[in-house]
Structure 1
Amino acid sequence: MGKYYVPTKGVESWSELLPNRDTQWKEGCSAYELAHCWEEAENLPSCVERVFKSSNIPLLQDVEVLYGFPEYKVSLPGRGKISHNDLYLLARANNELLTIMVEGKVSEPFGDKVVATWKGDTPSDGKTKRLAYLLELLNLKEEDTQKIRYQLLHRTASAIVEAKKINANNALMLVHSFCEEGKWFDDYASFVKLFNLEPSRNAVVGPVAVNGVNLYFGWVKGTKVMPKELSQLRKLEC
């Protein structure tokens, strides 16, 4: 992966980074919704800012996005795919550095496998090494993660890895859901509870000290992009 990045030229620049643009870049898909929501925000999307402010967490009362990296890849030891994060944000929060890994969701789950299924009955040395790394980094026990979605582990690990790279004291794994029903919140909640936190929708919880980093978790409900015809009509009505 290259270490050089260029500014976007609008939301279409995000689509060029997708592994499957034909299926991922359309209204109602998480990549499309996330790109429009964040690209069009001056700093934080209003839905995210409201949740941050209402959290009463001092760190999140004054958050400035310094840089954002769509489709950000984080390499992890052992066998398994690179963690392909929807959006990585480096932010200044209350005069401290904060790394944020944003996972966009509409109706899709957190990957198609829980840890037990991903590992299998006879795991390879590579998978054993990968899981051991994630468990040590997150300070979790293997027996507690068997029914946890594997994606949640490596997305959270990505936030911590990037925080440690730049000596940031704070990291946030943020789920930005565009689903009215809040699908898959229960999977997210089961994972967060492993850290002795009580998650809820439209809230940030934490911190919990993990590997020298103050780790937070958040779930924010966003609003889908309006169809072009409706958007134009509303502009005429204003």
Structure 2
Amino acid sequence: MGRIFVPAGTAEDWAQFLAEPVKHWKTGYSARTLAHCWQDADGFPVEIASALETSDTLRGMKMLLGIPEHQVAIPGGSTKSQNDVWALGKCGEQLVSIAVEGKVSEPFDRTVAEWLEPETPGKHIRLQFLTKTLGLREVPSSIRYQLLHRTASAILEAERFNATHALMLVHSFSQTHEWFEDYRAFAALFGIDAELKRVHMAKRVGGVTLHLGWVCGAAEYLRR
């Protein structure tokens, strides 16, 4: 991926960056829903700004830039972690790397056990790398793999941009909060009792402080 990024004029400009635009760019699907919500906002969407106010550390953060479908390389194979949005924020004098996972009703991909089948040396290298990057001793096989690499993306980009904080944010437009329990199980690995519409501090990993959050998007964007 090149290093020159062209600003989006409308939400429709986001579609070109999808791996399968015809399949995923549909009304009511997460990619299109998320694009319209973020494109309408002047900075962070209002529900994200509200959730950030629940964090003593990230309260008042301003968005500097956002990149749709931002890819982050991870050892153990050629497949990159493709963030629905990656944003760089600033809170006081500190930079914040934000990896956003947009959702409507789709799950967080496979569990670690399902992803490991069939097992390969590359997958084991990647899982070891993700476990270490997240500052964990081990990862239960029932945890959703997507949450691992999306959170690692936030940390890796924080290190690349000299940001002192990393935030993995689920921006869900499911009005029944589908798959929240999977996110909650992941957050529990860091000792967090996760809540809706909140940002929680997870732990310090190296020189980066990790945060996790779940934000509830407005239903109106499901019709856009």
Q: TM-score, normalised by structure 1?
A: 0.89
Query: Residue 18 of structure 1: CA displacement?
Result: 1.1
Identity of aligned residues (%): 42
Partners of 2:185 and 2:78 lie apart in 1 by 23
Higher Rg: 1
Instruction: Decide which of 113, 118, 129 is 2:115's aligned counterpart.
Output: 118
Partners of 2:183 and 2:222 lie apart in 1 by 27
Report the number of matched residues.
223
Partner of 1:182: 177
Instruction: Decide which of 68, 71, 74 is 2:69's aligned counterpart.
Output: 71
CA RMSD of aligned residues (A): 1.4
Query: Residue 227 of structure 1: CA displacement?
Result: 4.0
Q: Which has the higher contact order (CA 8 A, sep 6+)?
A: 2
Q: How does 1:94-133 map to 2 (within 5 A)?
A: 94-111=92-109, 113-120=110-117, 123-133=119-129
Unpaired stretches in structure 1, ≥5 consecutive residues: 229-238
Query: Residue 211 of structure 1: CA displacement?
Result: 2.8
Partner of 1:232: none
Unpaired stretches in structure 2, ≥5 consecutive residues: none
Q: 1:51 to 1:79 in 2, by over 3 A?
A: same
Query: Residue 60 of structure 1: CA displacement?
Result: 2.2
Give per-residue Cα distances to partners, 1:177-199, cap 9 Å, x unaligned. Answer: 00011000000000010011111
Q: 1:161 to 1:73 in 2, by over 3 A?
A: same
Partners of 1:207 and 1:179 lie apart in 2 by 24
Q: How does 1:107-186 map to 2 (within 5 A)?
A: 107-111=105-109, 113-120=110-117, 123-142=119-138, 144-186=139-181
Q: TM-score, normalised by structure 2?
A: 0.95
